[in-house]
Structure 1
Amino acid sequence: MLSTLALKYCHQILYDPKFSIRKEFKFKKLPIIVRMLIIQLMDPAERLQYKKGTLIGNTAMAINKISNIFNMNGLGIQFVAATPSLEFVNKLFSNDTFKTSWNKITLDGCVFNAEIVNFFLNMADGRKEVQIFNSDMPLDFKHENAFKFQTNDYDDARWVTLSDMLNIKGVENVTLDKTKLTSDEVRHFIDSWINCPDDMFLWMKIRAMEIVQLEGLFNELVVLEHDMNPFNIVYSTLAKSTSRAYKLLLIQHSLGAVGLSAWKPYDNAARSGNIQEKYKNVYEIMELLEKEKTLEKEFEETTDATKQREYRDQIQKLERKIHELGVVYRDGRATI
């Protein structure tokens, strides 16, 4: 336990300009609890070394002071209820601290203002996030950067078209919580996603305007169904393009919504934390199912008895391996 005297000594080193070794003292190397106690010893004005100035300037100064004490990964800026003026956001992002440190913009419950939304979307960055919640957006809204952030969350996405979605590429998260998309459009989008040569996103939620029907989507695909519950079914399949990094695709289907996610072959445990043992081998199972389908097709196409026998032996061997991994067949579909 550090004494108050010791903390005051640290404080003197840090904040007394007459102290000769102040510049050599490494405040960030102190334990966090010590740093916090040192800050508590200061009076409020001293904590920020306050100088009369603008709200934005003083806030930036406070952020810079805090970032010298704690590691900051970025600055989330949230506007709640009150819509900011264009003049204010221009001044805010003219400040170097806000311009360089922000990593998330959230508008929550703000009355839609095209100038403000366009201002933020014009700053699109694939490493940052944009969120617009509880705000009615115009049905004719368009912006070329609407889906060019790392995370793109729109509570009211009735303005989003199938064409907009098909242009999504290389982002992490997309949320379309309320749309005018039909079941056919959602099904068309999922089919395009499966067949796309590029990784479009890692996770996406789409809430349609009607019950989403997936019938026919899986006719030509190898699919593994996850036995969860009848109101929330998860299907696994593989991307058609072998060049995609995230080849394993999961489709979570509930009545009016779908959740889509793309995974690297063996990173499901890393991204989800501890998961049930039987779900850890999904990619291996999918590869075995794909191979089984290929062999069955070759078996049907050949009339050579020797080759048929070879194919039959290979198929039986695959079936045993698939069964060992916990797969059963229900209504002709592989299920785990």
Structure 2
Amino acid sequence: MGRILFYLKNMNICFYHICDEVEAKETEKFQFPLCCLPALAANEVVKSLNIPERIKLAITSRRMENLVKRASSKTPLTYAFYVYNENPQIYIENQKEEVAIIGETTWKEDQTNCIGIRQLVPWLNWKRSNLWNMTHVLRKIRRIIPTGRFELSLNTDKLSVEFLKKLIAIPELNTMQMLKIGKQIESDILRILMDWCPKNVTFVICTDSIVPSDFHHEKALKFSTVIYYDARWVKVQDLFTLENSDEVRLCDNILTSEDMNRFLGFWMESDLDMFREFSMWADTLDIREVLKDIMHVKTSRDGRDYSMIKSTQKLKMMSVIIEEGYLRLHVYSPEESFQKEYKVLELMEQKNKLETELQALEGDEAGARKLTMEIREVKKELDSNCTFFDGKTGIIAQ
């Protein structure tokens, strides 16, 4: 019997009748217009197409546009609006890593994946600018094929302030979930972007970027996710402004052990949810200096050594670890993990508080005896929960 395969060619459905694994015969009598297929069959044909093929089909007519829209309703894509040298391009990818590049490009990509300006003519308005047209194409494609994620990627070395202001005035770009910027970054460009960018986005300064060392912005560390490969401009005072971030990642930086010690102390006293995860390059950091004078519990999980600290303002605790050249901080609620460590920190805190109260008592023997008994009970409970403890450090041996 063999196998029957089909493909789309010039708006016609062509069938291959494969008789065996070597010979493939094209049967012309099975070639007919796509528009003549029943709706269900046409829908299945479109589902078999890759991203560039679907877009090229949608360009041909409003009917094909609607067909592609129906067939693509459950396949959200990742969209990137990429601006290099003030020349916008649209980059689209699905979960199968199929890619489409739309616009004039010199990227070394498979040309079958590229859709050039000439192919987009039915969707373009030649009285408008290239920026307007590419934004219009982006808007149109996103209405046809749903968006899973939308990114804006800028080569800021090639952008003028005038062009950037036109760019950020486009409403379509306000729906992005991620902003990526690269190359040489001027302070005025970065300030405009941070002023404009909503806090619920991922803000990325890419690996090849250089930020002026004196740069400062009050929103710089207030985005949902912060990934700065050049973070040499970040000062410890900037870290104090963190608020409600899911992830903060600082690569190349000049922060010291003393800076991070101050930061941990600030976090312990803060009544804000500053971040969930924090990491930074830590080649020059000393964990002993980072934790100096900070109450902490040392413990182990899954072959990794952690130092746990506790917030004095909220029911939160943080794991502190230096590994593979990174300082990694992770914030937990006591219900999530490290319940025993949290209990030990509470007991150590209670013991220190009682000892301070005892030292302040003068001439109250009854009160002193009561506090001494309470301290003895706390120490007894500490002995049953950890291997070692003193004023600032506890150890739980696993």
Global fold match (TM > 0.5): yes
The letter for the 2-side match of 1:114 is S
Q: How far apart in 2 are the matches of 1:259 and 1:64?
A: 40
Match of 2:147 in 1: 72
Q: Bigger relative contact order, structure 1 or 2, given CA contacts below 8 A and separation 6+?
A: 1
The Cα shift of 1:241 comes to 0.9
- CA drift of 1:127 comes to 0.5
Which residue of the other structure, out of 229, 237, 242, is the alignment partner of 1:168?
242
Query: Which residue pairs with 1:259 in the alignment?
Result: 328
Aligned equivalent of 1:278: none
- Which residue identity lines up with residue 191 of structure 1 in the other structure? G
Deviations 1:58-83 (A, max 9, x none): 32233223322443254211135853
Structure 2 counterpart of 1:115: 188
Question: Aligned pair in 2 of structure 1 residues 211, 9: CA closer, same or farther (>3 Å)?
Answer: closer
Q: Percent identity, aligned pairs only?
A: 17
Looking at structure 2, the residues matched to 200 and 286 of structure 1 have their Cα atoms a distance apart, in angstroms, of: 21
Paired position in structure 1 for 2:381? 315
| Maintained 8 Å contact 1:48/1:65 | no
Residue of structure 2 equivalent to 1:293: 348
Task: Give the total of aligned pairs.
Answer: 300
What displacement does 1:28 show? 7.2
Deviations 1:136-175 (A, max 9, x none): 2222112222122212222222222222222222322222
My pick for the range that moved more, 59-68 or 307-316, is: 307-316
**Are the structure 2 counterparts of residues 26 and 306 from structure 1 closer, same or farther at C-alpha, using a change threshold of 3 Å?**
same
Q: Give me the whole-angstrom Cα distance separating, in 2, the residues matched to 1:71 and 1:155.
A: 31
Normalised by the size of structure 1, how large is the TM-score? 0.69
Counterpart of 1:27, as a letter, is R
The residue number in structure 1 matching 2:258 is 184
From 190, 197, 204, the counterpart of 1:131: 204
1:67 is paired with a residue of what secondary structure? helix
1:6 and 2:38 equivalent?
yes
Report the structure, 1 or 2, having the larger strand content: 2
Alignment of 1:268-279 (within 5 A): none
1:237 aligns with 2:237: no
- Which residue of the other structure, out of 27, 51, 64, is the alignment partner of 2:124? 51
Deviation at 1:200, TM superposition (A): 1.3
Instruction: Work out whether 1:144 is the aligned partner of 2:199.
Output: no
CA contact (8 A) 1:48 1:62 kept: no
Segment drifting more, 294-303 vs 71-80: 294-303
Alignment partner of 2:395 out of 323, 333, 336: 333
Q: Point out the structure with max Rg over C-alpha.
A: 2
Q: Is the 8 A contact 2:73 2:146 kept in 1?
A: no
**Cα contact 2:287–2:322 (8 A) shared by 1:** no
Contact 2:257 2:289 in 1 (8 A): no
Residue type of the alignment partner of 1:66 = I
Give 5+ residue unaligned stretches, structure 1.
Answer: 37-42, 268-280
Kindly tell me: are residues 105 and 299 of structure 1, through their superposed partners in 2, closer, same or farther at Cα, counting changes over 3 Å? closer
Q: Report if the CA contact (8 A) 1:103-1:128 is conserved.
A: yes
> Structure 1 CA distance, aligned partners of 2:170 and 2:354?
69
Q: Where does the alignment leave 5 or more consecutive residues of structure 2 unmatched? A: 7-12, 14-36, 47-56, 77-93, 95-114, 359-367
Contact 1:212–1:256, Cα closer than 8 Å, also in 2? no
Assess if the C-alpha contact under 8 Å between 1:74 and 1:101 holds in 2: no
Question: Displacement, 1:292?
Answer: 4.1
- Partner Cα distance (2:340, 2:181) in 1: 43
TM-score (norm 2): 0.60
Q: CA–CA distance in 2 between the matches of 1:52 and 1:308?
A: 81
